Amino acid sequence: QQIFLRYQQLIKDNLKEISKLITFEQGKTLADAEGDVFRGLQVVEHACSVTSLILGETMPSITKDMDTYTYRLPLGVCAGIAPFNFPAMIPLWMFPMAMVCGNTFLMKPSERVPGALMFLAKLFQDAGAPDGTLNIIHGQHEAVNFICDHPEIRAISFVGSNQAGEYIYERGSRNGKRVQANMGAKNHGVVMPDANKENTLNQLVGAAFGAAGQRCMALSTAVLVGEAQKWLPELVDRAKNLRVNAGDQPGADLGPLISPQAKERVCHLIEKGVKEGASLLLDGRNIKVKGYENGNFVGPTILAKVKPNMTCYKEEIFGPVLVVLEADTLDDAIELVNKNPYGNGTAIFTTNGATARKYSHLVDVGQVGVNVPIPVPLPMFSFTGSRASFRGDTNFYGKQGVQFYTQLKTIISQWKEEDATVTKPAVVMPTMGN
């Protein structure tokens, strides 16, 4: 606990430097990179006070002279596999919670953005962590297979694509490991006609295009209900005003995609959406950024008149693309969301409490925001994505995180008041009363 108290202060002291490193490697804006570090820091701060969640349970005198104790113990060696899009936050979801529970940890960053984790690991060492308690491994498929197969690794935390997550969950589970895997998403923002229009449009634009859409909680799908469908031109106007530039440039709202391959895939899905009948209201494919003409930039893009059978709706685009669907009623919107296989997050925009309550309770999604576009819980709660967005039994951080990184041991003891010397052997099955 004392190590983590020192560690969180070191992260605060070096937050700007870590953020610059993230922007240099990953491309996101400096403001977004600072948020990346800060949200991870919150988990470290929570880890400093998590000891109350590790407490066991006891029941004295369950029968005469007999007590039962349950202890929460560390698993041993745990491992984490992080994606490229949050080089600081996601590792900080993992190893602080595991290690404050008493485990050692093996962390694999994305091979595209290793720098931030190496910096964080050095700070952890500076905070006084014993050698060998936090270990970093670099690599691609071979490193992943090593983590999934090594017999001494007891648990794996993963965040990334569905293809990789399903593979890691299946291979790790087959080898007897606990696995928690946060994967892809198609997060819907349902806009009711009674919503606060100005606030809602701004929230949609920010949540759809921030981080260039490269986040599993991006609000990548808007469902306009009834009269809210008339707001579409204003939504397009707001998206047009976003500034695309290198992440370290002043005033940039979104930076480039992570690679040329990512840009090619996003552009392909936009083109496929148009071919399948969607209306391209805003096209960011041909954007040019001065000084970075060969950069992996895609500007804000909006596809309207999208249908559930279209590829641009069925697949997670993972870029600055908002697909817009229409619904006549709230019930239609709920049905639409529930038929989508993903269950990471959703939001409803409304000024009606009954509408919000109905949506929150009937929608089959793990995290629901009411006038909150990206409902990522603070660390005292847990990240609770569901359905095709998650594999495993226990979610990340908070109380769920403690449960994932610990195991229970129960001890039943009896100390009789009278002389404990046994006068003759007991040859019958023991019962709780004898």
**Residue 376 domain-assigned (yes or no):** no
- Does residue 209 sit in the same domain as residue 247? yes
Nearest partner of 359 among 332, 399, 388, judged by Cα? 332
3-state secondary structure of 35: helix
**Residue 238 domain-assigned (yes or no):** yes
- Does residue 200 sit in the same domain as residue 56? no
- Does residue 26 sit in the same domain as residue 151? yes
Q: Cα(95)–Cα(91) distance, rounded to whole angstroms? A: 6
CA of residue 332 relative to chain centroid, distance: 28
Residue 433's pLDDT is 56
Distances (CA, A) of 130 to 94, 105, 120, 362: 18, 12, 15, 48
Residue 102 is part of a domain; what is its CATH number? 3.40.605.10
**Residue 290 domain-assigned (yes or no):** yes
- Does residue 173 sit in the same domain as residue 193? no
Residue with tokens 């009411």: 370
- Does residue 335 sit in the same domain as residue 366? yes
Residue 33's pLDDT is 98
- pLDDT band with cut points at 50, 70 and 90 for residue 406: very high
Residue 420's pLDDT is 59
Residue 345 is part of a domain; what is its CATH number? 3.40.309.10
The count of domains in the chain is 2
Q: Cα(190)–Cα(92) distance, rounded to whole angstroms? A: 31
Residue 7's pLDDT is 99
pLDDT at 267 over 70: yes
10 Å CB burial of residue 52 (0-12, 13-18, 19+) is exposed
Say what angle helices 89-100 and 2-13 make with each other, to 10 degrees. Answer: 160
10 Å CB burial of residue 14 (0-12, 13-18, 19+) is middle
pLDDT at 345 over 60: yes
Phi and psi of 240, rounded to 5°? -60, -30
Q: Cα(83)–Cα(358) distance, rounded to whole angstroms? A: 35
| List 78, 101, 148, 216, catalytic entry | 216
Which tokens in the block code for residue 293? 């003409």
- pLDDT band with cut points at 50, 70 and 90 for residue 265: very high
End-to-end CA distance of the chain: 42
- Does residue 116 sit in the same domain as residue 194? no
pLDDT at 159 over 60: yes
Give the mean model confidence (pLDDT) for residues 190-197: 99
| pTM exceeding the 0.85 threshold for the entire prediction | yes
**Residue 386 domain-assigned (yes or no):** no
DSSP 261: H
Give the mean model confidence (pLDDT) for residues 60-83: 93
**Residue 419 domain-assigned (yes or no):** no
**Residue 113 domain-assigned (yes or no):** yes
Strands of 77-81's sheet, edge to edge?
134-136, 104-108, 77-81, 153-159, 178-182, 390-391
- Does residue 260 sit in the same domain as residue 285? yes
Q: Residue 215's domain spans which residues? A: 188-370
CB 77 within 8 A of CB 154: yes
Give the mean model confidence (pLDDT) for residues 315-322: 98
pLDDT at 125 over 90: yes
- pLDDT band with cut points at 50, 70 and 90 for residue 61: confident
- Does residue 18 sit in the same domain as residue 110? yes
Residue 416's pLDDT is 86
pLDDT at 66 over 60: yes
pLDDT at 150 over 70: yes
pLDDT at 430 over 80: no
Is residue 267 flagged as an active site residue? no
CB 397 within 8 A of CB 93: yes
- Does residue 136 sit in the same domain as residue 252? no
Average pLDDT over the chain reads: 96
Q: Cα(304)–Cα(283) distance, rounded to whole angstroms? A: 12
Q: Give the number of other Cβ atoms within 10 Å of residue 73's Cβ.
A: 14
pLDDT at 285 over 80: yes
Span 322-333, pLDDT tens digits = 999 999 999 999
10 Å CB burial of residue 59 (0-12, 13-18, 19+) is exposed
Angle (CA) 117-388-111 rounded to 5° is 25
% of the chain beyond a pLDDT of 90: 91
- pLDDT band with cut points at 50, 70 and 90 for residue 52: confident
pLDDT at 179 over 90: yes
**Residue 387 domain-assigned (yes or no):** no
pLDDT at 271 over 60: yes
Q: Give the number of other Cβ atoms within 10 Å of residue 305's Cβ.
A: 16
Residue with tokens 């880890």: 47
Phi and psi of 340, rounded to 5°? -75, 135
**Residue 384 domain-assigned (yes or no):** no
- Does residue 26 sit in the same domain as residue 79? yes
- Does residue 212 sit in the same domain as residue 341? yes
Give the mean model confidence (pLDDT) for residues 190-206: 98
Which tokens in the block code for residue 5? 């108290």
- Does residue 179 sit in the same domain as residue 195? no
